Structure 1
Amino acid sequence: MDIKSIFYEKVINEINLLPANKLSEIYDFIHYFRLGLQNNDINSNDSIKYAGCWQDMDDNSFNDLINEVYNNRKKAFLERRNNDTNFN
């Protein structure tokens, strides 16, 4: 018996032990978990398209880009932190 069959059997056994009124929650969990895995695969493939796109960029432009990204992230983090600490 392969590892997939072993875990498949274990999952089915656990599901069979659940009360019927909880099965819809289990279905939703499994369904959305699977969709999340598919979305991760799609997003990973989309990201690969950009691999090496900065290869032809000169050093000054690349450094400007890195500094801009750093500053934007820092600004976003500070704004988020300020929003989290404001208790109006």
Structure 2
Amino acid sequence: MHDSEWRIKVLEEVQKIPDAKLSQLYEMIHGFRLSSETNNHNAAAIMQFAGSWSDMSEEAYGEFSDEIAIRRQQAFSQRQNRETSID
């Protein structure tokens, strides 16, 4: 089914919704639209960084990668201590 056909079907169904339920339907549709816009915006924002490290030397990239691994280990060990400690 084409997009325009889906749009017609959705509009036909909306016409059948009782007036008392329209506010709920609006909230659902509005939330759905906002979440899809947010996802598209987030993807575009993330893709701005694509290739950011392509001009980085192998040595600098290696140091950067090692630093990330160390920070992740530190963050995880701190989290693990908080989860198991009893005050």
TM exceeding 0.5: yes
Q: Which has the larger radius of gyration?
A: 2
1:29 aligned onto 2:28: yes
Aligned to 2:60: 61
Mark the CA change 1:56 to 1:21 in structure 2 (over 3 Å): closer, same or farther: same
List per-residue Cα deviations over 1:16-75 (Å, max 9, x = no partner).
332222211111111122122222222222222212111122223323333444455563
Distance in 2 (alpha carbons) for counterparts of 1:73 and 1:10: 49
User: Percent of aligned pairs with the same residue?
Assistant: 29
Aligned to 2:79: 79
Name the SS of the counterpart of 1:55 in structure 2. Answer: coil
Instruction: Give the superposed CA RMSD.
Output: 3.2
1:7 aligned onto 2:35: no
List gaps (5 residues or longer) in structure 2: none
List gaps (5 residues or longer) in structure 1: none
TM-score where L is the length of structure 2:
0.63
The alignment of Structure 1 onto Structure 2 pairs a total of residues equal to: 85
TM-score where L is the length of structure 1:
0.62
Aligned to 1:40: 39
